[in-house]
Amino acid sequence: MKKLLAKFTVAVATLFAAVSTTLAATNQVTVVWEANPPAEGVGLYKVYRSVAGSTNAPIVQSTTGTNLVSTNMFMGTTYVFTVTAVGPSLLESLPSDPLQFYMPFLLPEVKITNIVFGGKSGQVWNDVRVSWASLDKARYGFTTYTLNVDDLALAGGGNTFTTTNNSFTIPTLNVADYRLTVTTTNWHGTSPTVEAFISKNPPSKPRIFISQ
């Protein structure tokens, strides 16, 4: 008996369009395919989802339509989708050609935009205000920012501050060389880091000359 062959013709651009509109606040993507010819009497489609390179059994979902929302997907992971068609005799077709889809890491990097020093007393800076670009908390599913201030002279040493705002003022900071990063965390992990630095070295001395 002839086996039915599901047609799986979704372009990657179509999947990315779905991601851009729905995945920002969720961890799902909509998979779409063409229906088999009516004469084949297909009443059910099965969607198989696996992680690229994994030996685990795929996740299988069924639908009578020609699209399915695949949920509980992890950012930074490549998934492989195939679709089969099930005919009236319950025979299942060969799988469609596989389609790989990379679930993007939705949390963008948080860039520090400004560092302002309130003053200096001896070897201590006072009221060091660190500001960064604000992100949409509802869209990216997080509530707080974490500011990491690492003393470059201390292996693994530093301070961590948490805030709901897009700036934080450090009351006092010893004069030293520092590496600063700001991160956020949601249900899938922590955002990429972008480094900013504070230097204890003064600027180079000016060169003076007479203009004639």
Q: What is the pLDDT of residues 155-177, one digit of tens each?
A: 766 899 999 999 999 999 999 99
Task: Give the residue-averaged pLDDT of 132-139.
Answer: 84
**Contact assessment for residue 176 and residue 151, using Cβ atoms and an 8 Å cutoff:** yes
Between 148 and 107, where is the model more confident? 148
pLDDT value at position 10? 40
Confidence of residue 151 (pLDDT cuts 50, 70, 90): very high
pLDDT per residue over 42-99, tens digit each? 999 999 999 999 989 999 999 999 999 888 887 778 899 999 999 898 989 999 888 8
Domains and CATH numbers, the chain: 12-103 (2.60.40.10), 112-198 (2.60.40.10)
Q: What is the pTM of this model?
A: 0.55
Consecutive H or E run containing 180:
strand 178-186
Give the pLDDT confidence score for residue 105 in this predicted structure: 63
Closest among 104, 103, 85 to 7, alpha carbons compared: 85
Secondary structure of the chain: what % helix, strand, coil (to 5)?
10, 45, 45
Average pLDDT over residues 187-196: 82
Nearest to 160 by CA among 140, 138, 185, 139: 185
Q: Is the pLDDT of residue 21 over 70?
A: no
Give the helix/strand (H/E) hosting 205: none
* Residues 171/117, Cβ–Cβ less than 8 Å: no
Structure token pair of residue 178: 């520092």
Q: Report whether pLDDT(6) > 80.
A: no
Q: What does the pLDDT look like over 94-132, one tens digit per residue?
A: 998 888 888 766 677 899 999 999 999 999 999 999 999
